Amino acid sequence: MQFIGLAVFVTVIAVLVLTLGVRILLRGNWFLAWFRGSLGIVIVLVAALGAAVAYDLSTYQQNLPSETLVRISISKSVDKRFELSVTRQARTESYVVEGDLWRLDVRELGWQGLAEAIGLQPGYRLDRVKTIFSDNTRQPIARYAQAKLEQSWFDIDLWLWAYQNRKTVALLAPKSIKSNYYPLLDGASFEARLTEKGIVVLATNDVAERAVRTKK
């Protein structure tokens, strides 16, 4: 709810800024028309950016330890590739990958400084399933090396911006959380949970259990 509330707050600000920009653009007095027009356009663009940031914030959620983040079922595809059926929040999507090992990456959008002091809690967003070959001499084709689980609107990515500028950003504390690698095996299914120790991946059928035992 915290991130939904933050998204709603940013959306309200964006709407107010948009209203101001439109009013400036529609005024009939052409004194300083060029300045007003330019200022109005800038304000509208700022409002659009605010809306994109609000959407990006809404894709994060506070984690509950008992919740399953995602369920992943693996089946063979064509050309020695695999199809991942990824289920989250009663929604299932399919991705084609190649390799023989996979891992789950999760983004943590944390807070520091004043934001942490007022009690804001970190939020989490599924990032991707990354695949590799255990044989280091081989690499998956870029198109099939990862399954992006969540996309940002118009590539306005608050986490990525904060991560790239983490030495200078005062309020945000982005972090990438990665699971261990697990076998890509036809018929295997897993589920992942987020705990204080990181991502815990559990085998949910015999095929996955045998694969994990073999890897160990």
Q: Tell me, letter by letter, the H, E, C secondary structure of 30-44.
A: CCCHHHHHHHHHHHH
The number of residues making up the chain comes to 216
- Positive or negative, the Cα torsion across 193, 195, 199, 205? negative
Q: Is residue 105 part of a domain?
A: yes
Q: What is the mean pLDDT of residues 174-184?
A: 93
- Residues 86 and 117 placed together within one structural domain of the fold: yes
Structural domain range at position 104: 70-215
Quote the pTM value. 0.79
Q: pLDDT at position 77, please?
A: 87
For the chain, the domain total comes to 2
Of 58, 79, 101, which marks where a domain is finished?
Answer: 58
Q: How confident is the model at residue 27 (pLDDT cuts 50, 70, 90)?
A: low
- Residues 115 and 200 placed together within one structural domain of the fold: yes
101 CB neighbour count, 10 Å cutoff = 15
Q: Is residue 11 part of a domain?
A: yes
Q: How confident is the model at residue 31 (pLDDT cuts 50, 70, 90)?
A: low
Q: Is residue 98 part of a domain?
A: yes
Q: pLDDT at position 183, please?
A: 92
- Residues 141 and 176 placed together within one structural domain of the fold: yes
Q: pLDDT at position 64, please?
A: 67
d(CA 185, CA 44): 50
Q: pLDDT at position 208, please?
A: 92
> Which of 21-25, 100-104, 127-131, 174-178 bottoms out in mean pLDDT, i.e. has the lowest?
21-25
Percent of the chain whose predicted confidence (pLDDT) is above 90:
46
Q: How confident is the model at residue 32 (pLDDT cuts 50, 70, 90)?
A: low
- Residues 77 and 182 placed together within one structural domain of the fold: yes
- Residues 137 and 171 placed together within one structural domain of the fold: yes
- Does residue 132 come out as left (phi exceeding 0), alpha (psi in the -120 to 50 range) or beta? beta
- Residues 188, 211 contacting (CB under 8 angstroms): yes
Token readout for 216 is 């160990």
